[in-house]
Amino acid sequence: MAEDCYRDNALYAELKKVIEEKKGLEKPLIEILRDAQEIFGYLPEEVQRFIAEELNMPLSEVYGVVTFYNFFSMKPRGKYVINVCTGTACYVKGAPRLLQMLSDELKIELGGTTPDNQFTLTSVRCVGACSLAPVFVIGEDTFGRIENRDKLKEILKKYRQA
């Protein structure tokens, strides 16, 4: 049966293992979704449905959580996710301009992914580096006080070559 096919996939086997490990927790859904996003890279509807069935809860409840938190994505993401901080300190110090510069450089809107799947541009709340505002984060790397486009280009170039 087509519906069961995806469940044979190794990624689903990994997810099932995670669900088994975590379903006894008091509120397992967010943790399971986090792990599912790590495993699949994003949370398509099939994955949400699988989790809903395994946890015996309505799909609408899973969907509600996925759409509420902006660190969950229902679309495939690029190799590098650029998180621009839009917390208060960064906002005041120029986060909108930084976002615009990134958007121009990558030729994508906020939430978009470049056609070569290298970069996804997204925003986050304070990442705890307010003294460097405005800040953006790529993976474990934090970049701050980006005042001009040349500096930004230099950073992106390194990731393009990576």
Residues in the site for ligand FES, rule: CB under 6 A?
85, 87-90, 126-130, 133, 135
User: What is the closest distance, in whole angstroms, from the C-beta atom of residue 68 to ligand FES in the complex?
Assistant: 21
For residues 19 and 32, the answer to whether their CB atoms sit within 8 Å is yes
User: What is the closest distance, in whole angstroms, from the C-beta atom of residue 53 to ligand FES in the complex?
Assistant: 39
Residue closer to ligand FES by CB (options 45, 147) is 147
User: What is the closest distance, in whole angstroms, from the C-beta atom of residue 47 to ligand FES in the complex?
Assistant: 31
Establish whether the linkage from the previous residue to 134 is cis, with ω within 30° of 0.
yes
Residue closer to ligand FES by CB (options 39, 130) is 130
Residue closer to ligand FES by CB (options 66, 129) is 129
Sign of CA dihedral 117, 6, 31, 74: positive
Residue closer to ligand FES by CB (options 78, 87) is 87
Sequence-distant (≥ 6) Cβ neighbours of residue 112 within 8 angstroms:
106, 120, 121
User: What is the closest distance, in whole angstroms, from the C-beta atom of residue 72 to ligand FES in the complex?
Assistant: 21
Nearest Cα residue to 112 out of 82, 67, 71: 82
Please tell me what DSSP assigns to residue 7. G
Q: How many CB atoms lie within 10 A of CB 136?
A: 28
Two tokens, residue 122: 């997204």
CB closest to ligand FES, residue no: 87
